Structure 1
Amino acid sequence: MDTSEPSVICHVDNGLCRLILNRPEKLNALSLASFEAISTYLDQLNYEEIGCLLLTGSGRSFCAGHDLEGLASGAEGGAAERIENKLVERLATLPFPVVAGVRGHCYTGGLELVLAADIIIAAEDARFADTHSKFDLVPIWGLTQRLPRRVGMAKAKEMIFTARSYSGIEAVQMGLANMAVPDVELDSAVEALCADILKTSRRSNREIKKLFEDTDGMSLAAGNAWELHHTPGHGPGFAEVIRNFNAKN
């Protein structure tokens, strides 16, 4: 019987889906098996029950990148690359908010994975880096598309061309992370943010996220027109607010 720990753990509790990379002995390095496990979990989720997804890593690092053992063995070729790219895209386009909590390493493949999150909270001493050029590699999980959209083209080129690492505080300064907190406060800060998200309207968050995605790349005028004509507007929750307001007045 296989008693090894799963490479990814998934828990759902009161609308919060916790997705935890679980290879702490390898700093949560990613493998094809990790991507397949995440994909299976997503297949099994009841999306209507989820208000937020939290992506974290067990142990002292979020993710040190792709497991080089899999690459060195030749086991992960073109088919695996397409599966992995598709999974990152799937995470990035989930209908509900995705939050990532990052401590320790967030390197290369880990950086590509975390860029699928809507909101990133980092430990102040976390380390973000892209090292593709250090190993004569070229991104295949969307880094050249998502990183410039997050930090701007000039900063993305600096990160990619130099392979330098940046702290959680620097990640906030460049717009990569939303906030940075002391490592001992990371878990509580992430939980508090997810709790705030879960207090708001799931319908609103889903529809607003869809508007963001539908209008990405449009001019301001075109995006404004799209929002005007495609917004679903008020929901049942707003009607209840109005009823309660009227009942008090």
Structure 2
Amino acid sequence: MTETVTCTVEDRVCRLTLNRPDKLNALNLAVFKEIAAHLDGLDHEAVNCLILSGAGRSFCAGHDLDDLASGEESGAEAERFENGLVERLATLPFPVVAKVRGHCYTGGLELVLAADIIVAAETTKFADTHAKFDLVPIWGLSQRLPRRVGLAKAKEMMFSSRTYSGVEAAAMGLANSAVPDEELDGYVDALCADIARNSARSNREIKKLLVDTDGLNLAAGNAWELHHSPGHGPEFQAMIAARRPQKGG
């Protein structure tokens, strides 16, 4: 049986890939459970960065509407589990980079917003189509999208169900970068290699500071950083020494 989600780790980079290309990686409860199982089995100490992507020509076309219409995806228990899984991705201790091509619609957009960094192909199509199908977000879109693009732009996206290109997504701050389609894989690999080479402890502590101070004003956030930052760690001296030019014999 084909896995609907695959997970591999190499060179301290985890690749978590939606694997329903025939369905444009549409999401259902089974996919969420498989993501959770992979996260349960992941050795966090072996990972410095995670790449979230989709197999085939699209990242994710959204919630599988056939499953949703059947009633199999309804119920408070399933909704809490799915919302919690997106939150779990968003709060992983290491940086999460989303690699997005093709479609990134609605539930797929909610999933991609869990990433710390979003890199899109220029021709990617982003959209929130909840209102087109008489749906209301339950996976955090109403909270994460305004924080990413601002309230006014989030309202435009959510009320209109319009489609935005990768270039437009980068311009509004939804994506960090939009790159030519053929360069997407290489760009994300290089970015994550840079992340993985840095101190895992630093990146984890930086991410924790950002999460812990989200919503604080500048003065309160600055005070929090001063009193809660662990500062330099045990690898500091060795990393400094490694950057010094070696003296000739």
TM-score, normalised by the number of residues in structure 2: 0.96
Alignment of 1:18 with 2:24, yes or no, is no
Counterpart in the other structure of 1:121: 119
Q: Distance in 1 between matches of 2:221 and 2:112?
A: 26
Q: Compute the displacement of 1:248 (Å).
A: 6.0
The reply on whether 1:132 has 2:130 as its aligned counterpart is yes
Deviations 1:60-101 (A, max 9, x none): 000000001111111112211111000000000000000000
Can you list the C-alpha shifts for 1:111-158, whole angstroms capped at 9, x where unaligned? 000000000110000000000000010000000000000000000000
Instruction: State the match for 1:176 in structure 2.
Output: 174
The one of 91, 94, 108 equivalent to 1:93 is 91
Indicate the larger mover: 141-150 or 238-247: 238-247
Runs of 4+ in 1 over 3 A off after TM superposition: 241-249
Tell me whether 11-20 or 238-247 shows the greater mean CA deviation. Answer: 238-247
Q: Partners in 1 of 2:41 and 2:70 — Cα distance?
A: 31
In the alignment, structure 1 residue 6 sits paired with structure 2 residue 3: yes
Q: Which residue identity lines up with residue 11 of structure 1 in the other structure?
A: T
Decide which moves more: 75-84 or 227-236: 75-84
**Per-residue CA shift, 1:12-51, capped at 9, x if unaligned?**
1121110000000010000101000000000001101110
CA distance, structure 1, for counterparts of residue 161 and residue 244 of structure 2: 59
Match 1:72 to one of 69, 72, 97:
69
Question: Which segments of 5 or more consecutive residues in structure 1 lack a partner in the other structure?
Answer: none
Q: Give the secondary-structure state (helix, strand or coil) at the position aligned to 2:235.
A: helix
After TM superposition, the structure 1 stretch with the greater mean CA deviation from structure 2, 122-131 or 73-82, is 73-82
Please tell me the residue identity of whatever aligns with 1:40.
Answer: A
2-structure distance, mates of 1:244, 1:68: 54
- 1:166 counterpart residue number: 164
Q: CA deviation at 1:245?
A: 7.2
Q: Structure 1 pair 11/246, CA: closer, same or farther in 2 (3 Å)?
A: closer
Select 1:42's aligned residue among 29, 32, 39: 39
Report the Cα offset of residue 241 of structure 1: 3.5
Aligned to 2:204: 206
Cα deviation, residue 164, structure 1 = 0.2
Normalised by the size of structure 1, how large is the TM-score? 0.96
* SS, match of residue 236 in structure 1: coil
| 2:51 counterpart SS class | strand
Amino acid at match of 1:65: G
Match of 1:189 in 2: 187
Displacement of 1:5 in angstroms is 1.4
Gaps of 5+ in 2: none
- Residues paired across the two proteins, number: 246
Q: Does 1:29 align with 2:26?
A: yes
Q: Following the alignment from structure 2 to structure 1, what is the Cα–Cα distance between the partners of residues 160 and 116? A: 26
- In structure 1, distance between residues paired with 2:24 and 2:127: 14
